[in-house]
Amino acid sequence: MTTTFPTAAPSALGIDAGGVDRFLDALESTPGVEPHSIVLLRHGQVAAAGWWHPYAEDRVHLLYSLSKSFTAAAVGIAVREGLIDLDATALSYFPELDAEITDERSRRIRVRHLLAMASGHREEALDRARAADPDDLVRGFLLTPPDEEPGSVFAYNQPCTYTLGAIVRRVSGGTLVDYLRPRLLDPLGIDDLAWRRDETGAELGFSGCYAPTWAIARLGQLYLQRGVWDGERILDEDWVAQATSTQVENPGEENPDWSQGYGFQFWMARHGYRGDGAYGQFCVVLPEQDVVLALTGQSLDMQAVLDAAWQHLLPALDAVDVDAAADAGLEARLASLGLPPVAGGRLPEHLAEVSLRSRPGGILDAVTFARDGDGIRMTVTDDGRSDSVPLGEGRWAVDGALAASAATEPDGTVRVALRFVETPHLLHLRLDLDRGTVGAKWGTEPLHDGPMTLRRPAD
């Protein structure tokens, strides 16, 4: 099942294409920001959509904490179906733990407190919960006493969302994806969505969701439409109202768009509200402008992404002077977006016969090369697993979940950029052919995967 949005010229939707262009300029030029995709919807129509090669429209992308908003949607649907009560305690869904959980504050944590990151803990409790029970994160979390009364303080807390996912699994008798498939994913036309699981087989809930950019846009549009899709109510209007308004204050957060309050796994912002994930995964909803902005990327400075949106994109909505002539230029630019490949000299011919060992403590165990038609194919190995990709010279070569570009520096060192194109991540390799070694450095550090598991999980 596929649901596509109609496409309209930006000017037909009251959007100045020049402002979108300036937003793209900012994304491409701001230090600490690297865009991978953009989808801009207005009035339920596509005003702009593009992917920076080697990222592509038909690929999933690791969403990191934007996964939380999909977990929350599952809770909202279960609330609508009468399977979950927002005012029930978390403990009530795990009666087998009742005798063990003796702390009164832990016993008073309600579902709505989990949704609002207001469990009463003053700071992230993931490590403490895992220490309390390495095999059962829900039990470990409930055995970690809150510092304050639940509902009174905000702390971004991964076990809150993990417990929400566990509650959905408990009341539905299946996985999160199984529950969401007929209730959310199929109705919204989200064909591909997978979730990283922990050692127990449970979806992480707070992270690990892989989905295309269109899935992000569709989830945002569902909330913008207050829970209705194609005339079918999927989320209760009251749920949407609570999820997208401040349930707990968080003025202590450092960045301005992270200190405007928190809803149900959504951040309030200076404009509208959003779900987001590490390294620049965004679902921004602007109800006043009837706009959804979906972004993926590898961005260390996520506040800079939002600053650019408010500076350039927001004024382009309902601009006084809309230049229809700029529409065509923006369309052409969106069709030709790309991340720069590695620049430098040609690869040495003898590279095809080289095998390199990692330096002590390196990220990879080994890197080998072989002739591949007119080019060279690189194989990377770590922890007993291997994968390979052609090396693109002056371009990105893509194979499966990997993309690579390589060039030779004046001193003979070969540089390779290895992208894991179903995730935000980039690995920089420096090949010392004389010494037979390879050095590796992450562009951004993966939060819960190694190099050979940075890909869509199997269903």
User: Taking 80 as the threshold, does the pLDDT of residue 344 lie above it?
Assistant: yes
Q: What is the pLDDT of residue 454?
A: 96
**Where is average pLDDT lowest: 99-108, 300-309, 427-436?**
427-436
Q: What is the pLDDT of residue 270?
A: 97
Q: What is the pLDDT of residue 169?
A: 98
| Six-digit token string for 352 | 């095809």
Q: Give the tens place of pLDDT for each residue, 153-186.
A: 999 999 999 999 999 999 999 999 999 999 999 9
**Secondary structure class of 40 (helix, strand, coil):** strand
pTM: 0.97
Residue 298's pLDDT band (cuts 50, 70, 90): very high
Nearest alpha carbon to residue 73 among 236, 277, 212: 236
**Secondary structure class of 169 (helix, strand, coil):** helix
| Six-digit token string for 104 | 């009164």
Residue 361's pLDDT band (cuts 50, 70, 90): confident
Report percent pLDDT > 90 for the chain: 92
Average pLDDT over residues 294-314: 98
Average pLDDT over residues 433-440: 91
Q: What is the pLDDT of residue 135?
A: 96
Per residue, the 3-state secondary structure of 410-426, as one string, reads: CCCCEEEEEEECCCCCE
Residue 42's pLDDT band (cuts 50, 70, 90): very high
Average pLDDT over residues 300-310: 98
Average pLDDT, the chain: 96
Q: Look up tokens 């230029």; give the residue.
A: 329
Q: Give the tens place of pLDDT for each residue, 313-338.
A: 999 998 888 989 999 999 999 999 99
Residue 357's pLDDT band (cuts 50, 70, 90): confident
Q: What is the pLDDT of residue 56?
A: 98
User: Taking 80 as the threshold, does the pLDDT of residue 359 lie above it?
Assistant: no
Residue 3's pLDDT band (cuts 50, 70, 90): low
| Dist. CA 400–CA 389, nearest whole Å | 8
**What are the Cα distances from residue 194, in Å, to 33, 65, 69, 233?**
26, 14, 14, 24
Q: What is the pLDDT of residue 393?
A: 96
User: Taking 50 as the threshold, does the pLDDT of residue 1 lie above it?
Assistant: no
DSSP string for 105-142: HHHT-BHHHHHTT-SS-SS--HHHHHHH-SS-HHHHHH
Average pLDDT over residues 378-383: 93
